[in-house]
Amino acid sequence: MSEGIGASVQRKEDKKFLTGKGRYTDDINRAGQVYAHFVRSDIAHANIKSINTKVAAEASGVVAVYTGEDIDVGGPICGWVVPNRDGSATHEPPHPLLAKGKVRFVGDAVAVVIAESLQEAKSASELVEVDYDELPAVVNLETASSGAEIHEGMAENRYFDWELGDEEATDNALNSASRVVKLTVRNNRLVPNPMEPRSALAEYDELNDSYTLYTTSQSPHLTRLVLAAFMFQIPESKIRVVAPDVGGGFGAKIYVYVEEAVCTWASKKIKRPIKWTADRTQAFLTDAHGRDHINNIQLALDSNNKITGLRVDTLANLGGYLSAFAVAVPTYLHGTLLSGLYDIPAIYTNVKGYATTTTPVDAYRGAGRPEATYLLERVMDQAAREVGMDQAEFRRLNFIPKDAFPYQTAVALQYDIGDYEPALDKAMEMIDYKNFENRRSEASKRGKYRGIGVSSYIEACGIAPSAVAGALGGRVGGWESASVRVDPTGTITVTTGAHSHGQGHATTFAQIVTERLGVPNSSVELVHGDSDRSPFGMGTYGSRSLAVGGVAISKAIDKIVEKSKKIAAHLMEASADDVEFKDGKFTVAGTDKETAFGDVALAAYVPHNYPLETLEPGLEETAFYDPMNFTYPAGTHIAEVEVDPATGVVEIVDWAACDDFGNLINPMIVEGQVHGGIAQGIGQALLENAHYDENGQLLTASYMDYCMPRADDLPSFKVGYTNTPCTHNDLGVKGCGEAGAIASPPALINAIINALSPLGVTDMSMPATPQKVWKAIQDSQSVAAE
C-alpha cells in the first residue's frame, strides 16, 4: 500500500497518545523543582491599595513571594496593530507580568507564591492580603465606551477603530439598492478548553546564564523571541524553549502568557526550577477566550437578487488586556473575508475593538473567519427568505464564477483559484436536498419541526505572506522553515518550525518525504517543538502547517534531490542533467544504469568515490518558505435538524460537508480535522457560551455550567471533497484545520431558523439552547394568537 501523498496512513503518534504515554510539560520534573501558584484577582476591576506578602512569605515551605513591584522585565506584547480611521495608532496599554496598581479581570495575576510543594504554595497564597478599591466592572460590549476607564488615558475604552473598503461606494450601493437586508448578529464568546491545561517549567542555568523553558506552546520559537527580545531583553541564544507533547491548543497556546514568563524570570531569582500548571478553573479564567463580536450588517440587492454592496459595522470585545493577535482577529482575519465566496462589488467595514474587564480575547480555531462567515451566511439566508428564493440557489446566483479567478475582492484579498458550484451541488446531493420537503412533512406528522441550513464559506489560510502581513500591521513574518537530513543509511530526519499538538504532522509530513524520496514512512522521523533542535520557525496556527511548513519541507527536499542527482551522476559516470530520480531510484536517460537513493546517501557520508572538488559531502538541506499569497479553502456545509417543540431540543439529524482543501496528503487525517472542526462549531452554535454577570464574574467557569460538545450531541458526518489545487505552492494544498469550525455554526443556526420559519421565526442567537428555542416557539405562538 502506498504511504505517499494521498494515502490514509495511520497516525504514527497515536500509539503513545492513545495509551497515555504522551510526555507533556507537567510530566517533566527537574531536580530541586519548586512550585508556583498565582494569587489572582477575584474582582473584575479595582485599584490595588496594598499587597501584604509578609505572612505568606513566612509560611511553611515558601521559597519566595513576588508582586508586580518586584518584577523588572516587561510584559506580553502585541503582535499585530492596525491604524485607526483618523490615522492614529492602535492603543497598546502595558500588560505587566503581575498586576501593578490595578486589576482588570477576574483571574488577573496579582502575586506569585513559590514553595517546595504545590499545596504549600496554595496555602500560602491564601495568606497574601490584597486590599482592593473596587471600580465599576465593564462587561457589556455595547456600552463599553461609556464604562469606567480601564486603561489610563485610553479614551472610551477603545483599543482601535479601524476600517477597510470603500465606504462611499458601499453606501451608494445601499442607497440605490432595490432591497437592503439588515441583520444584527452576535458571535458568542467561547472558552478554548484544550484537553491539556497550560503549564510551564522554567530552569535557570547559572553557569551559562541561560534559561530552559518547557511550556505548552503552539509556537516555541516565537515564545523564545518574545521572552528574550521583548520581555527580558537578553540574547535569544540564552533561552531555550521546548514545547513537548501539547494536548491541543486551538489558538489559546500561541501566545506568551504571564505565568510562563514569571516562572522563567523567578527561576533566576531563586536559582531553582519552577513548575506551574493551570487547573481547569484557571484555564477558564486565563486562557485567551475566542470570538465575542457584535455585527450590524446591511446587504444591498438589485432587482435581480444580485448583491451590489455589503456594509458591516462590528464591535469586538477584546477584554482587559490586548493579547498578542487580538487586533488581527476582528480586522485582517475578519474584515478581509467579508466577500465570502460571493461577487460583491462594494464592501465597507468598520471595526471598533473595546476593552472590557473580562479575560483577554484572541484567536480561537478560525480566528475572525468564523465570525465573518457567520455574519455573511446569516444575512445570505435572511436575504434569500426576504426575496423568496431557495437558500442554495440564492447563493449560487451570487457565487464568484469559476472563470473569474484570480478574483480581486473589494476587501484586499485576491483569491487565486476556486470553483464553488460543484461543492454546493455535491453537498446538496450528499444530503438529498431536493427531497427535503418530503422529510419536513414526514417529521411534521411526528410533531417535529424539520429544517435544513446551508453555509458556503471561504477562509484565508496558510498564514501568511510576510510582505502582505507586514503591510497590514503584522509584526512577525509568515514563513516557515524545514530541514531535511538524510542519514548515511538513507533514513530521514525532518525538523520543522511548525508544532504538532494533535494535527498528525509526524505522519503527514513523513508522507511528503515518502512521496518525494521513495523511502518508507517508517524511515522518516519528525523533530519539532524545541528551539535548540530545529531552525527558527513560526509555529502552528491559521491552518498553516502544511500549506507553509509542508511546502518548506518540499523545498528542502528539492535541494536534497538536486544534490543527490550530482552525487548519483558521479557514481554512474553520467552528466547530472541526464539523471532522473523516481521511486527512490536514480537512472540515466537512455541507459540501464541505476543507483538507489540509499547508495547516494552512503556515498555522501562515506565519500571515497565522490566529487569532493566540486561538491560538499553530507546530505542535509534547510529551506525557508514564504508563501506568495494566502490559500483559500472553501466549500459548503449543509445541516439538517429536527426541533422538538415540547422541549426546544434541537437534534442534528444529518450533516453534509463538501470542502475544497486542494490536494489532500492524508485523507483520513483531513477527515478527522473536518469532524473536529464541525464538532467545535456545533459547540459554539448549540452549547457553549462564556457568560459574565454584571460584576464581571465568569458564571460559566467550570464544566458544570460551560457546555462542551459530547459524542452524543453529534450526528455522523458525511464528508466529501472537491479539488482546485492551490496555484502558488508546490503541493497544491490549502489547509483544513479550521474549516469545520468556520463553516458549521451558520449551517446549524440557518437550519434551526429554517425549521421554525413556518412559525414566523426569523432569528436565533448562539448558542441555540433548548430553552432559547422553546422560547422562540412560545413567542411565535403567542404572536400568532394575538
Residue numbers of the site for another protein (CB under 8 A)? 119, 122-123, 126, 281, 646-648, 687, 691, 699-700, 703-708, 769-771, 774-775
Helix or strand holding residue 774 (H, E): helix 770-785
Q: Pairing between strand 274-277 and 239-242?
A: unpaired
Q: Which residues fall within 8 angstroms of residue 722, CB to CB, at 6 or more apart?
A: 419, 422, 423, 426, 635, 658, 659, 660
Q: Which residues fall within 8 angstroms of residue 56, CB to CB, at 6 or more apart?
A: 62, 65, 113, 124, 125, 127, 128
Smallest distance from the beta carbon of 61 to another protein, in angstroms?
12
Smallest distance from the beta carbon of 153 to another protein, in angstroms?
36
Task: Tell me the C-alpha distance between 602 and 598, whole Å.
Answer: 6
- If the CB atoms of residues 404 and 708 are measured against another protein, the closer one turns out to be 708
Smallest distance from the beta carbon of 58 to another protein, in angstroms?
19
CA dist 521 → 557, 581, 625, 665 (Å):
15, 18, 23, 13
- If the CB atoms of residues 574 and 690 are measured against another protein, the closer one turns out to be 690
Q: Which residues fall within 8 angstroms of residue 364, CB to CB, at 6 or more apart?
A: 190, 192, 250, 251, 252, 288, 289, 290, 291
Q: How far does CA 487 lie from the centroid of its chain?
A: 35
- If the CB atoms of residues 122 and 402 are measured against another protein, the closer one turns out to be 122
- If the CB atoms of residues 76 and 648 are measured against another protein, the closer one turns out to be 648
Smallest distance from the beta carbon of 769 to another protein, in angstroms?
7
Smallest distance from the beta carbon of 688 to another protein, in angstroms?
9
- If the CB atoms of residues 8 and 281 are measured against another protein, the closer one turns out to be 281
Task: Give the three cell numbers for residue 325.
Answer: 493577535
- If the CB atoms of residues 584 and 645 are measured against another protein, the closer one turns out to be 645
- If the CB atoms of residues 393 and 693 are measured against another protein, the closer one turns out to be 693
For residues 723 and 667, is the Cβ–Cβ distance under 8 A? no
Smallest distance from the beta carbon of 197 to another protein, in angstroms?
14
Q: Which residues fall within 8 angstroms of residue 711, CB to CB, at 6 or more apart?
A: none
CA dist 580 → 130, 484, 491, 599 (Å):
73, 20, 21, 15
Smallest distance from the beta carbon of 705 to another protein, in angstroms?
5
Q: Pairing between strand 34-40 and 274-277?
A: parallel
Q: Indicate the Cα dihedral angle 212, 217, 222, 224, nearest 10°.
A: -10
Ramachandran class of 480: left when φ > 0, alpha when ψ lies in -120 to 50, beta otherwise? beta
- If the CB atoms of residues 30 and 772 are measured against another protein, the closer one turns out to be 772
Q: Among 497, 424, 416, which residue's Cα sits nearest to residue 461?
A: 416
Smallest distance from the beta carbon of 647 to another protein, in angstroms?
6
- If the CB atoms of residues 300 and 690 are measured against another protein, the closer one turns out to be 690
- If the CB atoms of residues 285 and 547 are measured against another protein, the closer one turns out to be 285
Task: Give the three cell numbers for residue 96.
Answer: 505587566
Smallest distance from the beta carbon of 682 to another protein, in angstroms?
12
Smallest distance from the beta carbon of 122 to another protein, in angstroms?
7
Q: Pairing between strand 46-52 and 102-103?
A: antiparallel
Smallest distance from the beta carbon of 699 to another protein, in angstroms?
6
CA dist 94 → 51, 97, 146, 298, 430 (Å):
20, 10, 21, 36, 52
For residues 309 and 165, is the Cβ–Cβ distance under 8 A? no
Helix or strand holding residue 190 (H, E): none
As a whole number of Å, the end-to-end CA separation of the chain is 68
Type of residue numbered 577: D
* Three-state DSSP string of 426-494: HHHHHCCHHHHHHHHHHHHHCCCEEEEEEEEEECCECCCCHHHHHHCCECCCCCEEEEEEECCCCCEEE
Give the total residue count for the chain: 786
- The neighbouring-strand residues paired with 487 are none
Smallest distance from the beta carbon of 646 to another protein, in angstroms?
5
Q: Which residues fall within 8 angstroms of residue 568, CB to CB, at 6 or more apart?
A: 576, 579, 581, 586, 595, 600
- If the CB atoms of residues 21 and 710 are measured against another protein, the closer one turns out to be 710
- If the CB atoms of residues 199 and 722 are measured against another protein, the closer one turns out to be 199
For residues 682 and 714, is the Cβ–Cβ distance under 8 A? yes
- If the CB atoms of residues 467 and 708 are measured against another protein, the closer one turns out to be 708
- The neighbouring-strand residues paired with 450 are 642
Q: Among 31, 28, 68, which residue's Cα sits nearest to residue 213?
A: 28
Task: Tell me the C-alpha distance between 669 and 123, whole Å.
Answer: 45
Smallest distance from the beta carbon of 707 to another protein, in angstroms?
4
Q: Which residues fall within 8 angstroms of residue 443, CB to CB, at 6 or more apart?
A: 449, 450, 642
Type of residue numbered 759: L
- If the CB atoms of residues 54 and 691 are measured against another protein, the closer one turns out to be 691
Alpha-helix residue ranges (DSSP H) falling in 79-204: 118-125, 167-175
Smallest distance from the beta carbon of 339 to another protein, in angstroms?
36
- If the CB atoms of residues 286 and 308 are measured against another protein, the closer one turns out to be 286
- If the CB atoms of residues 491 and 697 are measured against another protein, the closer one turns out to be 697
For residues 733 and 663, is the Cβ–Cβ distance under 8 A? yes
Smallest distance from the beta carbon of 143 to another protein, in angstroms?
21
Smallest distance from the beta carbon of 184 to another protein, in angstroms?
23
- If the CB atoms of residues 188 and 223 are measured against another protein, the closer one turns out to be 188
Smallest distance from the beta carbon of 116 to another protein, in angstroms?
14
Task: Tell me the C-alpha distance between 66 and 51, whole Å.
Answer: 10
Smallest distance from the beta carbon of 447 to another protein, in angstroms?
12
- If the CB atoms of residues 538 and 690 are measured against another protein, the closer one turns out to be 690
